[in-house]
Structure 1
């Protein structure tokens, strides 16, 4: 029989490595914010609309992740969560992370940068998802196999929605997810700081991306 406590520790360690990888990637992408920008003028309707849409996507991503945590916070290695958002997508937390990443990248004024942020998030999260699926398969066996066949990995199948009659909320995990979201929102001023740096340094930006 799989040791639940050991599996839970392994999943926690996996999440820690994921967060460390995200920090490294964010640090590596920092120079890109200064060297590249959207090709549209800063005050143009297109750019302002793209940045506003990006803010909306970030908020949707944050709210979506905190909503998902209501269902799965502290339960991942103890029970197979298959209700609420998890009845239509196996990984709604990561799906909303993709949404937030697109919104964050859109703050550059470039659809290409927004797409790169989504691709980067996908590259980080997919290996995590695969390791989690192995762990959940070991824990829940045939029950997880049936769930995996029924529910898509990311894109939701809304016709399968099934809510939970009662939710047991883990305040610690909920607070942590909300805090992570606020930290993500705090990156938005970094784009304005990068724009300010570009006005001070001759020859910047080097790249103008659509």
Structure 2
């Protein structure tokens, strides 16, 4: 029988990857001048996407925290997509790229994070089908694998959640949200000292 995906390894890999991202963003050249209104608009959109991704992660954790791989969650965000946690993380990563004003980097970062999580989700899906059989297959027939369909939303009136799952997610949320002041700091550095590093993307 298939084994469940080791979530701790995947989470730690993603955490380390985001820490490695910090020096890389010094080399990201914005497509629009930092002083212009256009850059502020793109940065604001990116910030909103990052916050939406973090909130989406919390919403997903409220439903699946503590029961992942123990049951087939089909309510709340899981009624619209089978992988809302991964979709939210991908949106947040794309938002970080936009905050830097670099469309190419936003697509690259969102694509890499989304790709890694998509592959992980495929492995998880195989485990859930092997473990839950017809229950999961029925769910998979109704609900999209990755891209959400809001028309399918349904939820119980009351949801019980586990606080330890929220606490674990809080650290990941802080990692994502730390990019908001970090990007502002880097923008200020670039404006004050001028661009001296070779730009990428």
* More displaced stretch, 160-169 vs 53-62: 160-169
Q: Structure 1 residues 125, 201: CA separation in 2 closer, same or farther (over 3 Å shift)? A: same
State the 1:15 CA deviation. 1.7
Does structure 1 retain, via aligned residues, the 8 Å contact 2:45–2:95?
A: yes
Structure 1 length normalisation: TM-score?
0.85
Matched residue, 1:39: 31
Residues 29 and 154 of structure 1, relative CA distance in 2, 3 Å threshold: same
Contact residue 88 and residue 158 of structure 1 kept, 8 A = yes
The answer as to whether partners of 1:38 and 1:208 remain within 8 angstroms in 2 is no
Unaligned runs of 5+ in 1: none
- Say which of 91, 95, 101 aligns to 2:93: 101
Correspondence list, 1:1-210, <5 A = 10-11=4-5, 14-195=6-187, 198=190, 204-207=196-199, 209=201
1:62-121: CA deviations, max 9, x gaps? 111111111111111221111111111101111111111111111211111111111111
1:18-55 CA-to-partner distances (Å, cap 9, x unmatched) read 22322343344344312221131111111011111111
Q: How many residues are treated as equivalent by the alignment?
A: 201
Q: Please give the alpha-carbon distance, in whole angstroms, between the structure 1 residues aligned to 2:148 and 2:177.
A: 25
Q: Which shifted more, 53-62 or 189-198? A: 189-198
Q: Post-superposition shift, 1:197?
A: 5.3
- For structure 2, which runs of at least 5 residues remain unmatched after alignment? none
Deviation at 1:158, TM superposition (A): 2.1
Measured on the aligned residues, the alpha-carbon RMSD in Å equals: 2.3
Structure 2 CA distance for aligned equivalents of residues 199 and 46 of structure 1: 15
Distance across 1 between alignment mates of 2:194 and 2:145: 46
Provide closer, same or farther for how the CA distance between residues 28 and 179 of structure 1 changes in structure 2, counting only shifts above 3 A. closer
TM-score, normalised to structure 2, is 0.88
